Each structure stands twice: as C-alpha cells, then as structure tokens.
Amino acid sequence: MEFTLAITGASGSIYAQRTLVHLAASGLVERINLIMSAAAETVAQVELGVDLRGATGEKINAWIGLPKDSKLIRLQRLDNMAARPSSGSHPQEGMVVVPCSMGTLGAIASGAGTNLIHRAADVTLKESRKLILVPRETPYNAIHLENMLRLARAGAHIIPASPGFYHRPATIEALVDHLVFRILDHLGVPHSQTTRWQGKTENASDLATVNEPT
C-alpha cells in the first residue's frame, strides 16, 4: 500500500506524528509520501519541541521511531510539482491531510492549488481515491463549513480532530490515537482497535470496563 500524507500549519502536529507511527506499524504500508508546509514545521516546533526545518529522511525517521536508514517515508518538497503524488498515473491508495489548515482546505475546495499538497489532493479526488481531510479549527465560520461541504460532495472524507472519550483515555497519546484509528479505518489499514466501541453491556456501570484499552 502507498499513501501520501500532508502536514499543514493547523494546530495538532501530534495527530500527524501518531498517524505516521501507526501507518508504519501496520506492516501493510510500503511507502508514505510525506509533504510538509513551512507553517507545519513551525507548529511542530511550538507544540512538540521538534525541529523539522530542512528535514531529512533520518530526522523524520527519528521523529517517528523508525530505523535511521528506513525508506518507508519519502519526503517530497512542497514546491516539487513533478513529484509522484502530483500525477494521477501514479497509483496509490489515497491521501491524508492531517492536520488540515483552513487555508489548505479552501485551496483544495477551490481547485486553485499552488503547491504539491493542493495538487496531490486534487489528483486524489479526480482519480476517485480516498482523500481524508482532518481540519483542526474552532469555531468554524460559514466559509469553512461551505468548503467542507463542497469537498464532501466531491468525494472527500472530512474527519475533524474531535476525538471521543468513551474509552477513558488516560494520556494525550491515547486521546489522539482514538482519532488516528478512525483515519486508519477509512484508509482500510488495520490497527490495535483498542479505542473501538465494543457495544453496550447489560449494566451501564460495566460500560467503562468493557471499553478500556487492553
């Protein structure tokens, strides 16, 4: 399986990191084309204390916990409009923009893209492949909502960064993974399922026990 993952300047760098971690751990993904905006690098520094400016493959591998010589994640320059994800003739399963800024959302919705993230998303839509957008903004204004509706009608999957709490997450990582596993569900990539709803038991008081991660 091959996917493209784009990271933009919206808050929520940890969502991108954990998505990469779980895609790498699935054992089914052979290549991830990673595209980052300059704003994404700044946000990662602020939120996670990681310096991804001028990132190399080794630096990204260290961030994700992969061997330094791993070739699973392939960095693509934001201005490289000749990269593999820019062409519909290059087969891949889909693309995720996580987190997705409102600027990127608007550019994709308008079809007036100016960089590889916009182009790759447009290609994903036109080839009827899975495009998952993970907006992280609050509150949404009417323009944001109209752009999301337009993209949903075009075939994109809108998965807002709105994790659930029924699995009683004890850490930020567990909270984030709830959303990441929903992304993987839509991509058809297996995961541990530890945050998946297991169904209601006979006694409401048993609910937390049934759904606690193992």
Domain segments of the chain as ranges: 2-211
Distance CA 16, CA 3 (A): 13
pLDDT at position 56 is 83
Q: Is the pLDDT confidence value at 211 over 80?
A: no
pTM of the model: 0.89
pLDDT band at 164 (very low <50, low <70, confident <90, very high): confident
| DSSP string for 106-157 | HHHHHT---SHHHHHHHHHHHTT-EEEEEE--SS--HHHHHHHHHHHHHT-E
Residues 43 and 10 sit within 8 Å (Cβ to Cβ)? yes
pLDDT at position 203 is 58
pLDDT at position 64 is 94
**pLDDT tens profile 75-124:** 999 999 999 999 999 999 999 999 999 999 999 999 988 999 999 999 99
**Which fold would CATH assign to domain 2-211?**
Rossmann fold (3.40.50)
pLDDT at position 195 is 59
